Each structure stands twice: as structure tokens, then as C-alpha cells.
Amino acid sequence: MVDYSKWKNIEISDDEDETHPNIDTPSLFRWRHQARVERMEEKKREELIIRQKKEDNKQKLNKIKSKVVEAEKEKLPNLDELKKSLEEVEKEAEKIKHEEEEYQKKDKLTPWNVDTISKPGFAKTVINTKPARPQDENLTDEQREARMKKFIKENEKKLKHFGMLRRYDDSKQYLSENNHLVCEDTANYLVIFCINLEMDEKHDLMEHVAHQTICMQYILELAKQLDTDPRACVNAFFSKIQVAEKEYKDSFEDELKQFKERIRKRAAEKIEEAIKEAEEEERLQRLGPGGLDPADVFESLPDELKKCFESQDIALLQETIAKMDEEQAKYHMKRCVDSGLWVPDGGKKAEAVEPSEKVEEKEKEESS
């Protein structure tokens, strides 16, 4: 049998019932219609609020779960705190679910009216297809690197322009006009751009580009959650971030704060690496013919030999070597030659005196 119970409670049209002759009928109908429209609008707002809460809670839940997994893996000290936060978010999810069920019950009890009892069946045609996501899972690391280099070469000016935008509406419009920029390569370029700015001590500009980087990463993450092309998520993200509740915006700002900290840390590491590379290159250039560093060799010399090299007094050097133990003198002079501190027959053809010869000359002088 057909269930006709749903037809029992229907609001009549605003202008169908009879009114008293003394009542301003047109005004009454307008007031009725306005009140009904306001009720419908309030109902829509309530539905949107529940949907927004549900989506925000889902994102927060996924984020905390990933942190808990990482904390368990790394055995971090804040594991208990994260688990407690996870329980709170799960309780919040149950509360939102209850609100949704209550709304659905109330929606079923809402009387139908002239606006909701029927809708045009062919107002538009919807084909239930999703934009295809870029297929790059099968690319090798070399192919990805080559693709990114080509992408940056062709779009670097546009990428920097997007990084400098400040208003959400401007970013939304620019990405809509240049939707080929909505991809992983853009996010990677902006990260590198931020690191270079921080290394150049352009801290304020880095923080601004970091904000644009997180916007792009949020769009890409939204596309992954919906399993769709990131280009289809541009409008959704920028519309949401501008009207989002405090929790969603706080989550965005927290992600941005952590990203900027990672950028500062990575920039400091790269500066330290560059300094070490420069020092190593300088050290390699200093190496003598025997592969020894003259600075290291000089520091290892006895004080009396250091004075000879500091004063560049060859006569004093010969005299000092003659007074030293033969094996010790040979050891130090060989290291001096291998490091380039002492060049036999070099420069002004200064006489290179072998320690053994000086010892022999000294013995002859003493015997005579």
C-alpha cells in the first residue's frame, strides 16, 4: 500500500486561505511569506553549520591520529597528551553526530509547502564524474626532477607572483586563471623559495610566502581527501577559509607556524652546510704536494720552528734544525714539504738544507 501519511501535514500557500474583510490581506500574505522564507533560510544555515562542524572535526581527527601514530613510533613524551586530545575530538564527533540526527528528525517533521513540495525535474543536467587526478605515481625520481625543472623554467615568474599575493580573493582569482599552477610542483617550489628567502635574511617576506605555501598545501590535501583533481578544489578552499570557524582557522595558523619553524631550521642547516663546504674547499686548495694542510702542519710544529716560518728567516731555520734531534727534524721537515710550507729549491732558489747534512756540518765544526 502507498503511505499517504506524509501528505497530512502540508503548509498551504501563503495566499490560499480566506481572511476577514477588515484584514489587509495582501500585507498578511507578504508577512506570511517572509516568515516562511526566513524559517527556510534559518534551516539552511543550521544544516551548513552542522556540515562545517563535521568537516572540521574530521580533519582535526585525522591530524591528531597521525600525530599519535608518529608519537607511538618515535616514543615521544607527549603521547599521553595527544591521546587525551584524541579522546576529546572523538567525543566532539559523537556530539556532532547527535546534532545531525536531531536535525534530520526535525527536518522530517517540517511541513511541506509550495516551495518544497515539488521541484523542476529537468532544470539542469548533472553528469556524476570527477575530474581526473594527475597520474604521476609511475614516474621515477629522475623523471619527477626533470618535470619539475621544466615546470619551474616555464612558470617561475608566475610562481613568484602567486607567492607575493596577499588577499584570499586575489589568490583564488589568480589560480583560477592559471589553474596549471595548482599542483605539487608549485608547493615544492614555494618551499624552496621560502628557504632561500630565509637564508638571505628576508624574514618578513619568507613568512608571507610561507602563508601562500600552506594555502597550496591545503588545496592539495583537500584534493587527496576528495580523490579529485586539485584544480577543482581552489574555489572550495578559499571560500571555506574566509568563513571558517575559529577552530579551522586556528588549525591553519598552527600549521603555518610549524612550517615557518621548519623553514628557519632548514635554512640554518643549509647555511651551516655551505660554510662547511666553503671551509673544506678552502682546505683542499691549501693542501700541499703531499696532501697535508699547511695550517694543520704549522700548528703541530715545535715553537722554535714556528718562529722560523713566522719570521721567514732561512738562516734561523737551518740553525734550529741543526740543533734538533735528527729523526724529529726529518719528521717535521718532511711534513713541511708535503704541506707546501717549505719548498726545496723554490722561490728565490733558497738552499734546501737536509737535516742530516746540517747535523754532519755541526759535528765537523765541533771536532775542529
Q: Which residue has the higher pLDDT, 272 or 130?
A: 272
* CA gap 343, 350 in Å, rounded: 9
Assess if residue 255 is contained within a domain. yes
The pLDDT score that the predictor gives to residue 61 is 84
| Maximum average pLDDT range among 176-185, 273-282, 353-362 | 176-185
Please tell me whether residues 147 and 280 are part of one structural domain. Answer: yes
pLDDT of 214 > 60? The answer is yes
pLDDT of 320 > 90? The answer is no
Domain end call among 284, 312, 343: 284
pLDDT of 198 > 90? The answer is yes
Grid cell locating 107: 527536518
The lowest-confidence range among 38-47, 76-85, 320-329, 345-354 is 345-354
The pLDDT score that the predictor gives to residue 27 is 58
Please tell me whether residues 262 and 316 are part of one structural domain. Answer: no
pLDDT tens, residue by residue, 222-280: 888 888 899 999 998 998 888 888 888 888 999 999 999 999 999 999 999 888 888 88
Please tell me whether residues 52 and 171 are part of one structural domain. Answer: no
The pLDDT score that the predictor gives to residue 220 is 93
* CA gap 118, 153 in Å, rounded: 55
Helix spans in 118-245 (H): 141-164, 168-177, 184-199, 203-226, 234-243
The pLDDT score that the predictor gives to residue 269 is 92
The pLDDT score that the predictor gives to residue 15 is 47
Assess if residue 12 is contained within a domain. no
Please tell me whether residues 249 and 169 are part of one structural domain. Answer: yes
Segment 82-91 mean pLDDT: 86
Cβ neighbour number for residue 151 with a 10 Å cutoff: 19
- Could you tell me the pLDDT band of residue 177, with boundaries at 50, 70 and 90? very high
What is the residue-averaged pLDDT of the chain?
A: 78
The pLDDT score that the predictor gives to residue 352 is 40
The pLDDT score that the predictor gives to residue 268 is 92
pLDDT-above-70 percentage for the chain: 75
The pLDDT score that the predictor gives to residue 366 is 47
Assess if residue 337 is contained within a domain. yes
Please tell me whether residues 313 and 220 are part of one structural domain. Answer: no
Give the CATH number of the domain where residue 276 resides: 1.20.58.610
CA-nearest of 256, 269, 341, 347 to 300 is 341
- Could you tell me the pLDDT band of residue 362, with boundaries at 50, 70 and 90? very low
Domain end call among 284, 313, 338: 284
The pLDDT score that the predictor gives to residue 14 is 47
Number of domains the chain contains = 3
- Could you tell me the pLDDT band of residue 359, with boundaries at 50, 70 and 90? very low
Segment 332-361 mean pLDDT: 60
Assess if residue 9 is contained within a domain. no
Please tell me whether residues 100 and 155 are part of one structural domain. Answer: no
Fill in the amino acid letter for 332: H
Segment 48-61 mean pLDDT: 86
The pLDDT score that the predictor gives to residue 182 is 94
With a CB cutoff of 8 Å and minimum separation 6, the contacts of 67 are 82
* CA gap 248, 329 in Å, rounded: 75
Please tell me whether residues 168 and 47 are part of one structural domain. Answer: no
Please tell me whether residues 275 and 164 are part of one structural domain. Answer: yes
Query: pTM for the complete prediction?
Result: 0.49
* CA gap 156, 257 in Å, rounded: 25
Assess if residue 57 is contained within a domain. yes
The pLDDT score that the predictor gives to residue 367 is 47
Please tell me whether residues 149 and 272 are part of one structural domain. Answer: yes
pLDDT of 151 > 90? The answer is yes
pLDDT of 109 > 70? The answer is no
pLDDT of 60 > 70? The answer is yes
CA-nearest of 237, 235, 145 to 192 is 145
Please tell me whether residues 330 and 201 are part of one structural domain. Answer: no
Domain end call among 284, 312, 340: 284
- Could you tell me the pLDDT band of residue 305, with boundaries at 50, 70 and 90? confident
Assess if residue 6 is contained within a domain. no
Please tell me whether residues 321 and 215 are part of one structural domain. Answer: no
The pLDDT score that the predictor gives to residue 219 is 93
Assess if residue 237 is contained within a domain. yes
* CA gap 213, 300 in Å, rounded: 52
Assess if residue 175 is contained within a domain. yes
| Enclosing domain of residue 100 | 26-109
Please tell me whether residues 149 and 236 are part of one structural domain. Answer: yes
Angstrom CA distances, 124 to 114, 116, 119, stand at 21, 18, 12
